[in-house]
């Protein structure tokens, strides 16, 4: 994904958005960051969220990434440093937006007994009569397949293309009521050592977002957690269930597609 001309990867990424959302001249700018920023502003207006709420997500994920040797950004940051960084699209500063970078990941799938098994996997796309966002619909289907409640999962990886997207994911996964996801960060509930660690890898914001490998990287991280092999970022005690939420594209104000996967330590 990296290129000396930064416009090249941005133009390639824009191919995942509805053409009606694309500006006539995008230049050195991301239509996705603008879309996420617009959604973030709506939540600030509706629920009184502040930029510091988004900065808290970055602080958490940088702290997790410090223990991940494969992360793109491993240096911890303070809320003040995040807020004082270059503005990308109001209210999102540079550290609140996932970086462009290269990377790869692979899975080896075995039919052997024991180990980690796939408990559920559900995909949802934009459109159709079903209510809710694509993430909400995929979550409902995955939980029905697995037969579990939201609080039964012990570790989660979400698609934090922006810091605001991680907070939005908390609500769409049923972890927080609408408008209250920022409290999960403020109370340290999704930090390592908290009751429900999220993005122990550092997430897209800190581990990086090599499009195409990102979803597989989420599974790699969760398998390491379920096997007790995550090193400095290991959840204690070793969790029994893990959940990954991935999403992509933009159509009609929502992600074009989302997938929710639930893994079990058999």
Phi-psi region of 197 (alpha: psi -120 to 50; beta: other; left: phi over 0): beta
Residue located via tokens 């209510």: 131
CA dihedral (206, 211, 213, 216) positive or negative: positive
Residue 194 lies in a domain: yes
Cβ of 171: how many Cβ atoms within 10 Å? 19
Where in 126-249 does DSSP place strands (E)?
155-158, 241-248
Residue 1 lies in a domain: no
pLDDT confidence of 26, banded at 50, 70, 90?
low
Lowest mean pLDDT among 101-110, 156-165, 246-255, 257-266: 246-255
Going by C-alpha positions, the residue among 246, 237, 242, 158 that lies closest to residue 192 is 237
Residue 2 lies in a domain: no
Quick one: which H or E segment has residue 92? Answer: strand 92-93
Those residues whose C-beta lies under 8 Å from the C-beta of residue 31, and which sit 6 or more positions away, are 13, 14, 17, 21, 22, 23, 250
Q: What is the pLDDT of residues 195-240, one digit of tens each?
A: 999 999 999 999 999 988 999 999 999 999 999 999 999 999 999 9
What percent of the chain clears pLDDT 70, i.e. is strictly above it? Answer: 95
Residue 252 lies in a domain: yes
Residue 254 lies in a domain: yes
Q: How many domains, in total, are found in the chain?
A: 1
**158: domain range?**
7-265
C-beta separation of 126 from 255 below 8 A: yes
Average pLDDT over residues 34-49: 95
How far is the CA of 204 from the CAs of 23, 29, 54, 159, 263, in angstroms?
A: 25, 18, 14, 7, 20
Those residues whose C-beta lies under 8 Å from the C-beta of residue 20, and which sit 6 or more positions away, are none
pLDDT computed for residue 20 by the predictor: 72
Residue located via tokens 């997207």: 165
CATH number at residue 192: 3.40.47.10
pLDDT confidence of 157, banded at 50, 70, 90?
very high
Q: What's the rounded Cα separation, in Å, for the pair 44 and 51? A: 8
Residue 58 lies in a domain: yes
Going by C-alpha positions, the residue among 264, 20, 17, 18 that lies closest to residue 147 is 264
Three-state secondary-structure class, residue 242: strand
């Amino acid at each position: 994904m990296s290129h000396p001309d930064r416009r090249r990867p941005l133009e390639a990424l824009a191919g995942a958005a509805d053409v009606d959302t694309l500006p006539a001249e995008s230049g050195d700018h991301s239509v996705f960051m603008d879309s996420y920023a617009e959604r973030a502003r709506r939540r600030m207006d509706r629920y009184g969220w502040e930029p510091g709420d988004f900065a808290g997500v970055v602080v958490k994920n940088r702290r997790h990434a410090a223990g991940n040797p494969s992360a793109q950004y491993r240096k911890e940051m303070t809320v003040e440093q995040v807020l004082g960084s270059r503005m990308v699209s109001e209210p999102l500063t540079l550290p609140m937006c996932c970086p462009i970078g290269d990377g790869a990941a692979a899975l080896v799938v075995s039919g052997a007994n024991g180990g980690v098994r796939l408990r559920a996997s559900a995909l949802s796309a934009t459109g159709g009569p079903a209510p809710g966002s694509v993430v909400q619909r995929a979550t409902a289907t995955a939980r029905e397949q697995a037969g579990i409640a939201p609080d039964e999962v012990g570790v989660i990886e979400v698609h934090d293309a922006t810091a605001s997207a991680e907070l939005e994911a908390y609500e769409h996964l049923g972890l927080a009521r609408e408008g209250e996801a920022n409290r999960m960060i403020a109370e340290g509930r999704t930090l390592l050592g908290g009751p429900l660690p999220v993005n122990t890898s550092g997430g897209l914001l800190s581990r990086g977002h090599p499009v195409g490998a990102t979803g597989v990287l989420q599974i790699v991280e969760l398998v390491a957690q379920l096997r007790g092999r995550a090193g400095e970022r290991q959840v204690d005690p070793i969790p029994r269930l893990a959940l990954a939420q991935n999403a992509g594209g933009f159509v009609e104000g929502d992600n074009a597609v989302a997938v929710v996967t639930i893994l079990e330590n058999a």
